[in-house]
Structure 1
Amino acid sequence: MDGIEDPMIRLSGVSKTYADGTTAVHELDLEVRRGEMVTLVGPSGCGKSTTLKMINRLIEPTTGSIFIDGADVTDADPVKLRRGIGYVIQQVGLFPHQKILTNVMTVPLLYGESKSVARRRALELMELVGLEPDQHADRYPHQLSGGQRQRVGVARALAANPPVLLMDEPFGAVDPVVRGRLQEEFRRLQRDLGKTVVLVTHDIDEAVRMGDRVAVFAEGGRLAQYDVPAVVLGSPADDFVASFVGAARGLRRLAVTPIDPAHLEPLDGVRAGELGAAIDVGATLEDALALMMREDKPMVGVRRGAQFVGVLTPNGIHKALRASVNDA
């Protein structure tokens, strides 16, 4: 792993060994940049959730040091530490007998904010995560769908405006369609807010779609690979990683590789009828290939706003996939 200057989170030589001799995490060195989303992925029992819980000291490390924003938190007051870190779990953990607005207000009130300030903050956050306050503020958790409850959990975690957000299988309890929409919306939200996020998942597709970098854990709590999604998929570090990311890793790379104008061909000589629909330059290769197949065309036009910038062909897709690994 390359050195990172002034990371937001740094784990140095962190291990967790239980009394029966079981090693959950083995001598982990891991750094997370400010404003970065890192996903931890691996099979059950590989130590990814244990790692997450050691960051906010829900689980105490056996050895090693953990730094957040340059400060060693290993000996810090764990309650005070957790109040400065957002935490979202799969089960959400909402208070069932409190209304949604009250659930979101909980954290600001714990910080000593007045009820009026906490209420205003909660209403703002509900809108931010896509829950209309007029419709949802006075409802109870059991009256919401799984996806809506997960949004409330995210809003509550953001209520104290923490610089760091930890998420443990946050979208695992919702159906695939809602899950995909929540992933996209949270990724956009994270970029807009600039939060540093560590997200645990067992799903390699979620890991590579959500993460700026992906940490692949192997059994015994060993960090097998830590890199950008394109490299994890295109150049697995060992046989375990290759097996875990699967034989379809080439297709997965399409979803994490953006269209690059350098791989486009000029519009010169291309007849308008050959193009079909066009796609924005910010889309992924997966989006472009899907459009080609849907339109049954040998190429797709690429535009930046209203201006066409070139044509993407299957050969261009191949070049982009190769470059995504070589340039990372």
Structure 2
Amino acid sequence: MDATGSRSGAPMIRLAGVHKTYADGTVAVQELDLEVGEGELVCLVGPSGCGKSTTLRMVNRLVEPTSGRIEVDGRDVSAVDPVRLRRGIGYVIQQVGLFPHQRVAANVMTVPLLSGSSRADARRRALELLDLVGLDPATYADRYPHQLSGGQRQRVGVARALAADPPVLLMDEPFGAVDPVVRVRLQDEFRRLQRDLGKTVLFVTHDIDEAVRMGDRVAVFAVGGRLAQVGTPAEVLARPADEFVSGFVGATRGLRRLSVTTIHPGLVEPLDGVAAGDLAAAVEIGATLEEALALMLRDDRPMVGVRDGARFVGVLTPAGVHRALRASLRED
């Protein structure tokens, strides 16, 4: 990666020297350089007023930059008609923004119809997407938004953003208005969906735990629109770039590393002498230390079983968790 954090190959989103100053003199974003690779999910995280949502809105020209250049798929967005640009970029916000007088399927059909699809094709696409985000079309397609829970409305918002099959998704605090249990479920399901579809995602959040859980990389913004650090979740947690980042990720960043450190065969201890009753439910190789430790605590057992597919390969103990955390710190 270079200084902007770009992966190899041409970036799908590129911001070069982007600056935004409002008419009252407020500096929202300072000389921002950031690249997002194709199929990558980058979380923009920071306190209120740090410019992360402004950055997101400059990508689809809901806000115009004062200076600098923004490209999506190699095209300067300032040279693209803003309406056409927005129809080709998925956009999901916290309040969802569904049309209350339209049924769920009609909400999802909006962009395909505006882009020239027939009603039959647009409805077919809408039903496929509702199924993709976990809403049975037979049950939900003809309901109105007020008949859905908050989590269900967010799923419809994601389906609508995907309706035109955009290469890029912009998501602004999309799960912030739902309760914590539903929020974690939506995070996990969206991450799986994003990996399956290969979309490029810019995801705004104020929650460092959500950023660590969701992002391939995390871009930490400081007040005043300064990009303080960009890196993988493990890098940001292990090596904060400055005092601001260190304070923002918190004194518990060592614990947060549990969610980004995975189990590998070298951590697993043999099954010899282990009784089945001593085991909590098993986790897979590649699961996180957080998942394994949660199972141990849930079942009040001194270890958790580890599988590699159908094969049971050994156990992970608290001592193994400690070794893994120390090893990941040394690697970083």
What is the TM-score normalised by the length of structure 1?
A: 0.95
- State which of 277, 282, 290 in structure 2 corresponds to 1:278: 282
- Secondary structure in structure 2 of the residue aligned to 1:74: helix
Shift of 1:3: 4.5
- Secondary structure in structure 1 of the residue aligned to 2:78: coil
Residue of structure 2 in register with 1:313 after alignment: 317
- Secondary structure in structure 1 of the residue aligned to 2:19: strand
CA offset digits 1:54-111 (Å, max 9, x no partner): 1111111111111111222232211111111000011111111111111111111001
Moved more, 315-324 or 192-201: 315-324
CA offset digits 1:191-230 (Å, max 9, x no partner): 1111111110111111110111111100110011111111
Task: Supply the distance in 1 between the matched residues of 2:66 and 2:237 (Cα, whole angstroms).
Answer: 32
Task: Supply the distance in 2 between the matched residues of 1:163 and 1:27 (Cα, whole angstroms).
Answer: 26
Residue of structure 1 in register with 2:201 after alignment: 197
Cα distance 1:296–1:140, how it changes in 2: closer, same or farther (>3 A)? closer
Residue of structure 2 in register with 1:170 after alignment: 174
- State which of 238, 256, 262 in structure 1 corresponds to 2:242: 238
1:208 aligns with 2:249: no
Shift of 1:296: 3.4
Cα distance 1:205–1:167, how it changes in 2: closer, same or farther (>3 A)? same
| Contact 1:231/1:325 (8 A) holds in 2 | no
| Contact 2:111/2:164 (8 A) holds in 1 | yes
| Contact 1:9/1:67 (8 A) holds in 2 | yes
The 5 Å alignment of 1:82-231 reads 82-231=86-235
Residue of structure 1 in register with 2:35 after alignment: 31
Task: Supply the distance in 2 between the matched residues of 1:323 and 1:29 (Cα, whole angstroms).
Answer: 32
Residue type of the alignment partner of 1:142 = H
- State which of 291, 304, 309 in structure 1 corresponds to 2:308: 304
Shift of 1:270: 4.6
Moved more, 128-137 or 270-279: 270-279
| Contact 1:38/1:215 (8 A) holds in 2 | yes
CA offset digits 1:131-181 (Å, max 9, x no partner): 111111111111111111111111110000000000001011111111111
> RMSD between aligned alpha carbons?
1.6
Task: Supply the distance in 1 between the matched residues of 2:148 and 2:280 (Cα, whole angstroms).
Answer: 42
Shift of 1:267: 3.4
| Contact 1:231/1:324 (8 A) holds in 2 | no
CA offset digits 1:278-299 (Å, max 9, x no partner): 2221321011112223343333
Task: Supply the distance in 1 between the matched residues of 2:279 and 2:95 (Cα, whole angstroms).
Answer: 47
| Contact 2:14/2:34 (8 A) holds in 1 | yes
Task: Supply the distance in 1 between the matched residues of 2:55 and 2:165 (Cα, whole angstroms).
Answer: 23
- Secondary structure in structure 1 of the residue aligned to 2:79: coil
Residue of structure 2 in register with 1:42 after alignment: 46
Task: Supply the distance in 2 between the matched residues of 1:141 and 1:274 (Cα, whole angstroms).
Answer: 48
Task: Supply the distance in 1 between the matched residues of 2:61 and 2:228 (Cα, whole angstroms).
Answer: 23
| Contact 2:96/2:154 (8 A) holds in 1 | yes
Shift of 1:272: 4.8
| Contact 2:271/2:315 (8 A) holds in 1 | yes
**Runs of 4 or more off by more than 6 Å in structure 1?**
none
Task: Supply the distance in 2 between the matched residues of 1:84 and 1:239 (Cα, whole angstroms).
Answer: 39
Give the percent of matched residue pairs that are identical in Structure 1 and Structure 2. 75
Task: Supply the distance in 2 between the matched residues of 1:214 and 1:76 (Cα, whole angstroms).
Answer: 28
Moved more, 46-55 or 11-20: 11-20
| Contact 1:235/1:325 (8 A) holds in 2 | no
- Structure 2, unpaired ranges of 5+: none
| Contact 2:6/2:37 (8 A) holds in 1 | no
| Contact 2:105/2:141 (8 A) holds in 1 | yes
Task: Supply the distance in 2 between the matched residues of 1:187 and 1:96 (Cα, whole angstroms).
Answer: 27
What is the TM-score normalised by the length of structure 2?
A: 0.94
